[in-house]
Structure 1
């Protein structure tokens, strides 16, 4: 694969992940300054500024991981299932914002987060077979989603 073509691939994955970020932001914006502010939240909830910083870093890492697997597919032909799993988890990532903030349904969002965490685990396992660095780049995301599930669960419990 030519280097220029490879960099366009990276750009494509960055655009895809940040498109999900923008769509999630649209769903979030309808509730973050109103409904979400009124919810009881656990003490381990980070300040609001942490979320965009963390997600920006995570989306960049996710894009680089997918790009590495995409390059491996171009070179070896192996890894299509891994990349398909990455797209599934990306869709589930967006779905959480829509469910939690857009639909204002934290209980359903918690169930969806369990599915997202499972999809991330499958993605990591499949990435390991193709590119160990790509798999490693997904671990911070898995950790953050686990933390998000704890926060989401606490919000459900505190607001029952």
Structure 2
């Protein structure tokens, strides 16, 4: 990857990291996670901030690749990216802060649809940008299974 604009890359990475950090702050998710009845496939709480940090960095690099492209469709692709970040931000608040497990599951399904659309949109501009989003999609699919199981158990 050739870096065209270092400041844009840093900002692109900081945006999803800030979204995730603020969401975690508002939802208080790490404290509440230990109180759930969880399925057997539930990972330890310490894993979540590590995985999310990696995913947010990948999301930032991906958005940077789209942002610095010359493609005329980048504006719409980045709008879709922003909408999915909005959904990402509010999922943990619905789930952890408000304990709305079913609503959070439905919200997460909508987020997954948005991620798929974003990946498709990014692929049209930069296949590398799309590929960088695949771990995020896979993690959200896993999160949906976990969310639904927690809904059923609690």
Task: Return the TM-score normalized by structure 2.
Answer: 0.93
Displacement over 2 Å in runs of 4+: 35-38, 75-78
Shift of 1:78: 3.2
- SS of the aligned residue for 2:105 comes to helix
| CA RMSD of superposed structures (Å) | 1.4
Q: Select which of 59, 62, 76 maps to 2:59.
A: 62
Measure how far apart 1:58 and its partner are: 0.2
5+ residue gaps, structure 2, are none
Q: CA deviation at 1:102?
A: 1.4
1:28 Cα deviation from its structure 2 partner: 2.9
The correspondence for 1:109, drawn from 84, 104, 112, is 104
Q: SS in structure 1 opposite 2:40?
A: coil
Give 3-state SS (helix, strand or coil) of 1:32's partner.
Answer: helix
Query: Do the aligned partners of residues 42 and 78 (structure 1) sit closer, same or farther apart at CA in structure 2, a change above 3 Å counting?
Result: same
Unaligned runs of 5+ in 1: none
TM-score in terms of structure 1 length: 0.90
What are the Cα deviations for residues 4-36 of structure 1, in whole angstroms up to 9, with x where unaligned?
Answer: 7x111111111211111111111232x532x43
Give, in angstroms, the shift of residue 156 of structure 1.
Answer: 0.6
Q: Deviations over 1:103-151 (max 9, x none)?
A: 1111110010001000000000001100000000000000000000000
Matches within 5 A, 1:121-132: 121-132=116-127
- Partner in structure 1 of residue 35 of structure 2: 38
The 3-state SS of whatever aligns with 1:12 is helix
